[in-house]
Structure 1
């Protein structure tokens, strides 16, 4: 009760003259009377509770965004310059965008085509994919297969495999992944032989470590410049955010 009274009193004294009372110096009787007055005011003006909660939420969101920005800046070298991650778009783009994805994530699949539209329609975005399998063994197998595809057949092959895995709706098994590779005219056997390579394992482990440092626990998660977007964001939302970033450059 004292904490509540102290908070309300602090707000109240902003409009009071210098001789206003100190809540900590009130007698028990004064404290009780003041508490009743506060309660009566809140009962008569219940919207103040909603306003206070909305302000609290706004302040928390601003605090989290500032913390995210600081973390992104600290981790910029491993986020943007790893060298092991597949990239698309303009390598010299003025906007750099990273996506942490999982091939079994429904929202990643939903975002996939919109991300492609974003990059195709904006010739000044550098796009980086972070393989972040978090939805079980099938997710891990799919990410291993995608990374192995790039190691065996190069960037173009990875891009086509990434598309195919995002569009695929079946069970992720070595057999089904090999069929996908065959349809893409890739050597599925050679790719499967690479999936347990220590470098593949290390790349996924390193991505999980980065995600942990950024408190990323879900997919898709986007890092655009120094801002983080947790979860699916529609195409127009991403376009608006990028336009606002450019306006401040």
Structure 2
């Protein structure tokens, strides 16, 4: 503890004997005096401690950003070029966003219309959907049903099902999902049969493995270009991130 306090004390201008700067060689009396000096100074100047904490938090935040950037760089192909995923928006976009989502996640549902608005308002964004069920059996069933829709009926049907499931109320049971398919004019029995296709669980397992490598444990989680954003972000916040990405790219 004393070793951690020494730089703070020196920065604060505390006068210490030359010998006392080597904390391993302090006598008991010097150690007690040093502790008293530190305590007195911090009690009189608590803002110093707050400033030190702020600097530490800033350094930790910067280190986290750098780690995230390294993880994105190491997993670029799996993030942005996986055949398992469906995307929407501008196929030639200058900004690509990856979203790890769960149909049972309240914040994913909250973000869903705002992500759609971002794509529509901007016109130069593409969003890649990563099916990442983590909230129990109904989440897994919903993800399997969505992926099976793509296998059985194609990407357009998948997007219709995806959007409808993000707005669905009530339990996501097999009868409820079949009813939703009927409402959308989709072939429910064909979708249900496709849920047994090995590609369904391969897609989910692939995304879970990727999330583990990316230190992603919650939804929604986003990758904006080379930046990771964990948790819900409102529309204006996403617009700010996109603007910053474009600014730094120029």
Range of TM-score over shorter length: over 0.9
Paired residues for 1:152-167 under 5 Å: 152-167=152-167
Quick check: 1:244 aligned with 2:244? Answer: yes
Deviation at 1:174, TM superposition (A): 1.0
What CA distance in whole angstroms lies between the structure 2 residues aligned with 1:78 and 1:95?
Answer: 17
Q: Deviations over 1:169-194 (max 9, x none)?
A: 11111111011111111100000001
What CA distance in whole angstroms lies between the structure 2 residues aligned with 1:182 and 1:39?
Answer: 71
What CA distance in whole angstroms lies between the structure 2 residues aligned with 1:29 and 1:21?
Answer: 11
Q: Which residue in the other structure is 1:217 paired with?
A: 217
What CA distance in whole angstroms lies between the structure 2 residues aligned with 1:20 and 1:226?
Answer: 49
**Contact 1:5-1:23 within 8 A present in 2 as well:** no
Quick check: 1:82 aligned with 2:55? Answer: no
- TM-score by length of structure 2 reads 0.93
Q: Which residue in the other structure is 1:114 paired with?
A: 114
**Contact 1:111-1:232 within 8 A present in 2 as well:** yes
Q: Which residue in the other structure is 1:29 paired with?
A: 29
**Contact 2:102-2:134 within 8 A present in 1 as well:** yes
- TM-score by length of structure 1 reads 0.94
Q: Deviations over 1:138-168 (max 9, x none)?
A: 0001001111111111111111111100000
What CA distance in whole angstroms lies between the structure 1 residues aligned with 2:174 and 2:30?
Answer: 75
Q: Which moved more, 1:59-68 or 1:97-106?
A: 59-68
- SS of residue in 2 equivalent to 1:82: coil
What CA distance in whole angstroms lies between the structure 2 residues aligned with 1:26 and 1:86?
Answer: 65
- SS of residue in 2 equivalent to 1:248: helix
Q: Deviations over 1:38-92 (max 9, x none)?
A: 1100000112222222222221111111101100110000010002201101111
Q: Deviations over 1:109-163 (max 9, x none)?
A: 0000000000011111121000000000100010011111111111111111111
How many residues align? The count is 247
What CA distance in whole angstroms lies between the structure 2 residues aligned with 1:112 and 1:12?
Answer: 49
Paired residues for 1:91-240 under 5 Å: 91-240=91-240
**Contact 2:108-2:219 within 8 A present in 1 as well:** yes
- SS of residue in 1 equivalent to 2:59: helix
**Contact 2:102-2:108 within 8 A present in 1 as well:** yes
**Contact 1:99-1:221 within 8 A present in 2 as well:** yes
Q: Which moved more, 1:126-135 or 1:29-38?
A: 29-38
Paired residues for 1:10-29 under 5 Å: 11=11, 22-24=21-23, 25-29=25-29
What CA distance in whole angstroms lies between the structure 2 residues aligned with 1:4 and 1:153?
Answer: 62
List runs of 5+ in structure 1 lacking aligned partners.
Answer: none
What CA distance in whole angstroms lies between the structure 1 residues aligned with 2:55 and 2:208?
Answer: 34
List runs of 5+ in structure 2 lacking aligned partners.
Answer: none
